[in-house]
Amino acid sequence: MIEHEHLRHLEAFARYGTLSKAAEELHISQPTLTRSMQKLEDEIGVPLFLRTKNHLEFNANGELAADYARRILEQTDSMVERVRALDRAGRTISIGSCAPMPMLTAVRNATHLYPEMTISSECRDCEPLIEGLRSELYQIIILPYRPEDKDLYIQKTETETLFFAVPSGHRFAGSNGIYMKEMDGENMLLYSDIGFWHSLPREKMPHSRFLVQTDRFAFEELMSSSILPCFVSDIALADNWNSADRVLVPILDPEAKVTYHMVCLKKTLSKVRKLFLSVI
Amino acid sequence: MIEHEHLRHLEAFARYGTLSKAAEELHISQPTLTRSMQKLEDEIGVPLFLRTKNHLEFNANGELAADYARRILEQTDSMVERVRALDRAGRTISIGSCAPMPMLTAVRNATHLYPEMTISSECRDCEPLIEGLRSELYQIIILPYRPEDKDLYIQKTETETLFFAVPSGHRFAGSNGIYMKEMDGENMLLYSDIGFWHSLPREKMPHSRFLVQTDRFAFEELMSSSILPCFVSDIALADNWNSADRVLVPILDPEAKVTYHMVCLKKTLSKVRKLFLSVI
DNA sequence: ACAAATTACGTGATGCGTAATCATA
DNA sequence: TATGATTACGCATCACGTAATTTGT
pLDDT tens profile B257-273 = 999 999 999 999 999 99
Surface of A (53-72) touching B: CB under 8 A: 60-61, 64-65, 68-69, 71-72
Out of B4, B48, B86, the one facing A2 most closely (by C-beta) is B4
> Residue B180: is its pLDDT beyond 90?
yes
pLDDT per residue over A198-213, tens digit each? 999 999 999 999 999 9
- Chain A residues in contact with B70 by the CB 8 A cut-off are none
Residue A161 beta carbon within 7 A of nucleic strand C = no
pTM of the predicted structure, to 2 decimals = 0.75
What local confidence, expressed as pLDDT, does residue A178 receive?
95
What local confidence, expressed as pLDDT, does residue B243 receive?
63
Q: Cβ(B30)–Cβ(B20) under 8 Å?
A: yes
> Residue B158: is its pLDDT beyond 80?
yes
**What percentage of residues in chain B have a pLDDT greater than 90?**
84
> Residue B231: is its pLDDT beyond 80?
yes
CA distance B256 to chain A (A): 45
Spatial distance between the Cα atoms of B227 and A114, rounded to a whole number of angstroms: 99
What local confidence, expressed as pLDDT, does residue A244 receive?
62
**Residue at minimal CA–C1' distance from C7?**
A31
- Chain A residues in contact with B90 by the CB 8 A cut-off are 60-61
Best of B1, B3, B4, B7 to disrupt the A interface (most A CBs within 10 Å) is: B4
Q: What string of H, E and C letters represents the secondary structure of chain B? A: CCCHHHHHHHHHHHHHCCHHHHHHHHCCCHHHHHHHHHHHHHHHCCCCEEEECCEEEECHHHHHHHHHHHHHHHHHHHHHHHHHHHHHHHCEEEEEECCHHHHHHHHHHHHHHCCCCEEEEEECCHHHHHHHHHCCCCCEEEECCCCCCCCEEEEEEEEEEEEEEEECCCCCCCCCCECHHHHCCCCEEEECCCHHHHHHHHHHCCCCCEEEECCHHHHHHHHHHCCCCEEEEHHHHHHCCCCCCEEEEEECCHHHEEEEEEEEEHHHHHHHHHHHHHCC
Q: Which of residues 47-86 of A touch strand C (CB under 7 A)?
A: 49, 51, 53-56
Out of A47, A64, A84, the one facing B44 most closely (by C-beta) is A84
Distance A189 CA to D10 C1' (A): 77
pLDDT per residue over B83-133, tens digit each? 999 999 899 999 999 999 999 999 999 999 999 899 999 999 999 999 999
Q: For A194-225, give the DSSP string.
A: -GGGGHHHHHH-TT--EEEE--HHHHHHHHHH
pLDDT per residue over B188-222, tens digit each? 999 988 889 999 999 999 999 999 999 988 988 89
- Chain A residues in contact with B48 by the CB 8 A cut-off are 83
Asked if B82 lies within 8 A of A64 by C-beta distance, the reply is yes
> Residue B244: is its pLDDT beyond 90?
no
Surface of A (227-246) touching B: CB under 8 A: none
Closest CA to A181 of A196, A203, A209, A162: A203
pLDDT per residue over B53-91, tens digit each? 889 999 999 999 999 999 999 999 999 999 999 999 899
Nearest C-alpha in A relative to B40: A80
Residue B31 beta carbon within 7 A of nucleic strand D = yes
Distance B196 CA to C12 C1' (A): 68
Residue A52 beta carbon within 7 A of nucleic strand D = yes
Phi, psi of A204 (to 5 degrees): -85, -20
Residue-by-residue pLDDT tens, chain A, 280 positions = 999 999 999 999 999 999 999 999 999 999 999 999 999 999 999 999 999 988 999 999 999 999 999 999 999 999 999 999 999 989 999 999 999 999 999 999 999 999 989 999 999 999 999 999 999 999 999 999 999 999 999 999 999 999 999 998 899 998 999 999 999 999 999 998 898 999 999 999 999 999 999 998 898 889 888 899 999 888 887 766 666 678 999 999 999 999 999 999 999 999 999 999 988 7
Residue A35 beta carbon within 7 A of nucleic strand C = yes
Which nucleotide minimizes the distance between its C1' and the CA of A33? Answer: C5
What local confidence, expressed as pLDDT, does residue A242 receive?
66
**Residue at minimal CA–C1' distance from C19?**
B31
Spatial distance between the Cα atoms of B256 and B197, rounded to a whole number of angstroms: 9
What local confidence, expressed as pLDDT, does residue A216 receive?
87
Distance B3 CA to C20 C1' (A): 29
